Amino acid sequence: MDSMFSIAEILEKSGLSYDTIRYYVKIGLLPPTKRKENGQREYGTIHLERLIFISHLKRTGMPLKEIKQYLTMATAQNYERCYDLLYKHKHEIESQMVEIKATLELVNYKLDHFKDLMKKSGLGDE
C-alpha cells in the first residue's frame, strides 16, 4: 500500500514551500491528490518522489516548462523523448560541473593567497 502524507509531511520531506507545491499542482506537474473526509489533501509516495525529482531538475537549471514536457512524455510513455530530454540535461549538468570546478579552483587559489598575506602581516593564527 502506498504511504500517504499530509501537506505538512510533504513540506518537511520535500523541503519545498506550500506555495511552491500548490503552484506545481496548478501547472500540472503533480498528479491529482485524494482528499480525506475533512477535505484535506492526501499526498502519496508518487507525489513526494516527483517533488524531489522536480527539485533536483530545477536545482540544476532545467526550466519548469521542460520539466512539464518531460513529465507529460513520461505519462504518455514516450520513453525515447524522455531519454532525449534527460540526456540533453545531463550534458548541461556536466558542463555546469566543469564550470563550478574551475570556479572552485580559483576560489581556493584566492583563499591560499589571502592566507599567505595574512600570515606575512601577522594576522594568521599559524
For residue 79, pLDDT beyond 90: yes
Name the one residue in this structure whose C-alpha cell is 506537474. 29
> How many Å separate Cα 42 from the centre of its chain?
22
For residue 125, pLDDT beyond 70: no
Q: Give which of 104, 106, 101, 109 is closest to 117, Cα–Cα.
A: 109
Give the model confidence (pLDDT) of 40-68 as tens digits. 888 999 999 999 999 999 999 999 999 99
Give the model confidence (pLDDT) of 16-33 as tens digits. 999 999 999 999 999 888
**Helices (runs of H) and strands (runs of E) counted in the chain:** 5, 3
Give the model confidence (pLDDT) of 86-106 as tens digits. 999 999 999 999 999 999 999
Q: Is the pTM of this model over 0.85?
A: no
Q: Give which of 51, 49, 54, 47 is closest to 31, Cα–Cα.
A: 47
* pLDDT level of residue 38 (50, 70, 90 thresholds): confident
For residue 80, pLDDT beyond 60: yes
The continuous run of DSSP H or E covering 75 comes out as helix 64-75
